[in-house]
Amino acid sequence: MYQEIKSDLHFNFHLRRHRYQRLFRAGSPLLPVYAGELQSPALAMKIFAYDPRGNPVLDEQGELVCEMPAPSMPLYFWNDADGAKYRAAYFGVYPNVWRHGDYVLFHSDTAA
């Protein structure tokens, strides 16, 4: 890519959940780009990979979680008057921590 187009091209991929278009990770022109890795958390996203016990992990696959509220998080599901489905879907595994439902791997050497 860099040889064919431009050597200082800022090339990155955004990770987002298609239903809500929430941006979890984003590119930064201030950070290096590593093949196959996303650069950094998006603005205001306190994200981690958790093991099944709810501990943050590096260098191994874990469940993508967000420990703080984010502006684009949905507030409820349709036809879920008491919020039970919503809470079970996103907060049922790790108390008070948003569970994304996908797995991710964060590298300790690049933080990506």
Adjacent-strand bridge partners of 23: 16
pLDDT of residue 51: 97
Strands of 15-17's sheet in order across: 15-17, 22-26, 40-41
pTM attached to this predicted model: 0.77
Adjacent-strand bridge partners of 40: 26
Token pair belonging to 5: 């187009």
Could you say which DSSP state residue 86 is in?
H
pLDDT of residue 98: 93
| Distance of alpha carbon 11 from alpha carbon 23, whole angstroms | 17
Tens digit of each residue's pLDDT (9 = 90 or more) over 32-73: 777 777 777 877 889 999 999 999 999 999 999 999 988 778
pLDDT of residue 101: 86
Adjacent-strand bridge partners of 47: 66
The single residue listed with the structure tokens 């996908």 is: 102
